[in-house]
Structure 1
Amino acid sequence: MPKISKELGALEVARLKSDGVFAVGGVAGLHLRVAGLSRSWVLRYVIHKSRRRMGLGSYPTVTLSMARDKARDAHLKIQQGIDPIDERGSLRAQRQLEQAKKLLFRDAANKCITAKSGEWSNAKHAGQWSATLETYAYPFIGDLDVTTIDTQHILALLQPIWHTKTETASRVRGRVETVLDWAAVFCGHKHPNPARWTGHLDQILPKPTKIAKVRHHEAVPYKEVAPVVGAIAASAGQGAKALLFQVLTAVRSGEAREAVWSEIDMGAGVWTIPAERMKARREHRVPLSKQALALLAGQARKEGCDYVFPSESGKALSDMTLTAVMRRMELTAVPHGFRSTFRDWAAECTDYDKDVVEMALAHTIESKVEAAYRRGDLLEKRTQLMQDWANHCIQAQ
């Protein structure tokens, strides 16, 4: 242990202003280092046969009394075989690692959305995720480190909307769970996800299906579809034409709105929608009826634009454009409801096999065994089906 020097008082230490290293006593190895206007505390000690110098802070921010307390604490560690410099370095590295792992929920959500956006067939999904999290999750957990979020935080954001906006609340819960799962992998966390449903929140919150009625898309009754389609056909604008095309082909709104000429073979009367634009991520061929072909033949191609039904700016029409057509007709039904109309008509008024109808709707075959053996898409049978449907909707010209 170093020799204990004469113990200096606070006033004596304050007078040490010439350059040098001065032992101040009171604790073995404690010195004040003076270099110009800079004065700082240094503790000299020997451990494991190695001479070390440990900084204890600047003077007078660290007073003489404080420096001696720090030096005594260091000597206690030295007596236990712990090098205080190494320990301090380890603690600093640990804090830096913890800081590096710290991730706010809103930042995790943005990174998660960016990482997973490639999986989504609809570009609007990223915006929908951001909007719902911004509205319902960020006010409660947006500025929290993901490692500090617990079940009570999740309940705080879900309970106010669980009974009144059940579908939205369920969607928010799932998105929060996904973000926290992503963050756990990204940061190496191992704690259970507080937003998980099975075996966790399902023990606290009632099942969504028990408190919210399933709301189907409102549809036009198949017996009333002809005059409605006639009114749509008589309406002006690209929105009405795109809606009519959707009705005649029984596709989803987005598939009709984003149709491009390069997908359509007028000679063969077939519209081939690529897999990346389909919900099931599988290419879908649509046989075009005489009425659908006549509609396409009447469409003027916009220079520099491949969309069949372009907006004024040359982009795809929005979903609200088609809905607005129906609202102007004072209909409460929605564009997607025409798919239900088509299915009801096929079941009630035709003898077509259910598989033909389901294939026309591009629905996924539920049986994996059956899906594995089915190679064709029943195009020939669907050609007559779609022509019969078009004839039901509007008389062929």
Structure 2
Amino acid sequence: MARTINRLSHRKVETLKEPGMYSDGGGLYLQVTQGSDRTPRKSWLFRYAVAGRERQMGLGPMSDVPLAEARDRAAAAREMRRAGKDPIVEREASRAEARLAVAKSMSFDECAAAYIAAHRAGWRNVKHASQWANTVATYCSPIFGNLPVQLVDIGLVMKAIEPVWSTKPETAGRVRGRVERILDWAKVRGYRDGENPARWRGHLDHLLPARGKVRRVKHHAALPYAQLPVFLAALKERDAVAARALEFAILTAARTNEVLGATWSEIDPDGRVWTIPAERMKAGIEHRVPLGDSAIQIIKGMMCTKQNSYVFYGDRRAALSNMSLLMLLRRMGRNDITTHGFRSTFRTWAAEQTSFPREVVESALAHTVSNKVEAAYQRGDMFDKRRVLMSQWAGHCNAFDRATKTVTAFRLKP
């Protein structure tokens, strides 16, 4: 039976030891029970009726909930009753919602891992996935990787990219773009809502300068085309797979990864053509490369020492590594140039020493046409014209005369 007390006090609450219900008024009760060790246990209850049926809602033990807080909780429950709501039902609904929110929550790192896993199959090479993971681990994880993705805001994004925006603008741009994609993925999957704090246009562009204004683009160091014949003559004297790979890359004006990944199934010596499949091309489009006499000689030489499915083989049945070409240039004392820079050498030579149309030269470099209208009409790959162009390029590359140690001028018009 409940014992009515006009108003409980902190002192009175502490002294109550007899088992029973002690009313504080307004539906709030202190329940005193006796444990197995005969020690009194005290807890708060809110008693009310719904449709004539009495209900009791626990408000917590007195050891955790002091009298003032118990009164606040009872007052909140009375407000619910005045609004026609059942406090117990409302509390259970709130707890269920909280459990659902926890079940649905994901940290930013978890979202990043899920995004990478979902898109891995669509990326051209495995390195791209590792680059994504490394970017997140280096610039994002230390700042907000463990936080729920819903809590990632503009302040956290700025904290990740602002320190490197002026010193490493390209890296900072990649970080921003990848964070934006991960947060967009999280929003679509229901893990966050609201604006994307990593969005550039109309958002971060008000807080950071454009990357192009921060630092001029640093192009790959390239060898002047006038010096190329002497360099190639020195390269031919080196007996190494890396030397043949670099020579082949120069003669074909192909990208380093395209050359190093070349397989025998892609080479047609009789047709004098190298067909690079779409999945290995930067633009995702199959590319045919005409092979001149010098390139065919390299192919035949590599056939004699064939080790595996790769033309330019490395160890353990793998392709030659990119580092091999870099070390080759270092051994030649050419730290001032890069392998990729030879494509720039070719482009400059073609512009200044030939009259081939721009689109033929760009096609030789496997560059995509940026103008959509132009691309719609330009469906062919101009292979025959490119064969003539690459023949002239090979003539320039091999223009060094070892006997006289002079470069023979080689210039033909298409």
Taking structure 1 as the reference length, what is the TM-score of the superposition? 0.85
Distance in 1, matches of 2:35 and 2:94, equals: 29
Is 332-341 or 141-150 further displaced after alignment? 141-150
Q: CA deviation at 1:221?
A: 1.1
Q: What amino acid does structure 2 have at the position aligned with 1:321?
A: S
| 1:151 and 2:154 correspond | yes
Q: CA deviation at 1:143?
A: 3.1
Q: Which residue of 2 aligns with 1:351?
A: 355
Q: CA deviation at 1:254?
A: 0.6
| 1:104 and 2:104 correspond | no
| 1:383 and 2:359 correspond | no
CA shift digits 1:218-263 (9 cap, x unpaired):
1111111112122222223322222111111111111001111111
Q: What amino acid does structure 1 have at the position aligned with 2:372?
A: K
CA shift digits 1:172-195 (9 cap, x unpaired):
222222222222222353322222
Q: Which residue of 2 aligns with 1:259?
A: 262
Distance in 1, matches of 2:202 and 2:64, equals: 54
CA shift digits 1:163-222 (9 cap, x unpaired):
222222222222222222222222353322222221222222222212211211111111
Q: Which residue of 2 aligns with 1:367?
A: 371
| 1:91 and 2:104 correspond | no
Task: Among all aligned residue pairs of Structure 1 and Structure 2, give the percentage whose two residues are the same amino acid.
Answer: 43
Give the secondary-structure state (helix, strand or coil) at the position aligned to 2:189.
Answer: helix
Structure 1 208/12 Cα, relative in aligned 2: closer, same or farther at 3 Å? Answer: closer
Q: CA deviation at 1:151?
A: 2.5
Structure 1 56/385 Cα, relative in aligned 2: closer, same or farther at 3 Å? Answer: same
Q: Which residue of 2 aligns with 1:19?
A: none
Give the secondary-structure state (helix, strand or coil) at the position aligned to 1:282.
Answer: coil
Distance in 2, matches of 1:72 and 1:367, equals: 69
Cα RMSD (Å): 3.1
Candidates 170, 176, 180, aligned match of 1:177: 180
Q: Which residue of 1 aligns with 2:205?
A: 202
Ranges in structure 2 where 5+ consecutive residues have no aligned partner:
401-414
* Contact 1:5–1:26 (CA under 8 A) maintained in structure 2: no
Structure 1 188/341 Cα, relative in aligned 2: closer, same or farther at 3 Å? Answer: same
Distance in 2, matches of 1:351 and 1:322, equals: 32
Structure 1 142/60 Cα, relative in aligned 2: closer, same or farther at 3 Å? Answer: closer
* Contact 1:309–1:317 (CA under 8 A) maintained in structure 2: yes
Structure 1 65/23 Cα, relative in aligned 2: closer, same or farther at 3 Å? Answer: farther
Count, aligned residues: 388
Q: Which residue of 1 aligns with 2:338?
A: 334
| 1:241 and 2:244 correspond | yes
* Contact 2:149–2:191 (CA under 8 A) maintained in structure 1: no
The residue correspondences of 1:133-144 to structure 2 (distance < 5 A) are: 133-144=136-147
Give the secondary-structure state (helix, strand or coil) at the position aligned to 2:180.
Answer: helix
Distance in 1, matches of 2:33 and 2:75, equals: 18
Give the secondary-structure state (helix, strand or coil) at the position aligned to 1:194.
Answer: coil
* Contact 1:23–1:29 (CA under 8 A) maintained in structure 2: no
Structure 1 190/73 Cα, relative in aligned 2: closer, same or farther at 3 Å? Answer: closer
Structure 1 229/84 Cα, relative in aligned 2: closer, same or farther at 3 Å? Answer: same
Taking structure 2 as the reference length, what is the TM-score of the superposition? 0.82
CA shift digits 1:38-58 (9 cap, x unpaired):
978565542134454434446
Is 25-34 or 252-261 further displaced after alignment? 25-34
Q: What amino acid does structure 2 have at the position aligned with 1:152?
A: G
Q: Which residue of 2 aligns with 1:74?
A: 77
Structure 1 60/200 Cα, relative in aligned 2: closer, same or farther at 3 Å? Answer: closer
CA shift digits 1:25-74 (9 cap, x unpaired):
44558556779689785655421344544344468666899767755653
Distance in 1, matches of 2:208 and 2:28, equals: 63
Give the secondary-structure state (helix, strand or coil) at the position aligned to 1:187.
Answer: coil
Distance in 1, matches of 2:351 and 2:72, equals: 88
Distance in 1, matches of 2:28 and 2:168, equals: 69
Q: CA deviation at 1:101?
A: 4.2
Give the secondary-structure state (helix, strand or coil) at the position aligned to 1:298.
Answer: helix
Structure 1 232/207 Cα, relative in aligned 2: closer, same or farther at 3 Å? Answer: same
Distance in 1, matches of 2:72 and 2:389, equals: 91
* Contact 1:40–1:55 (CA under 8 A) maintained in structure 2: no
* Contact 2:150–2:193 (CA under 8 A) maintained in structure 1: no
| 1:317 and 2:320 correspond | yes
Q: Which residue of 2 aligns with 1:226?
A: 229
| 1:280 and 2:283 correspond | yes
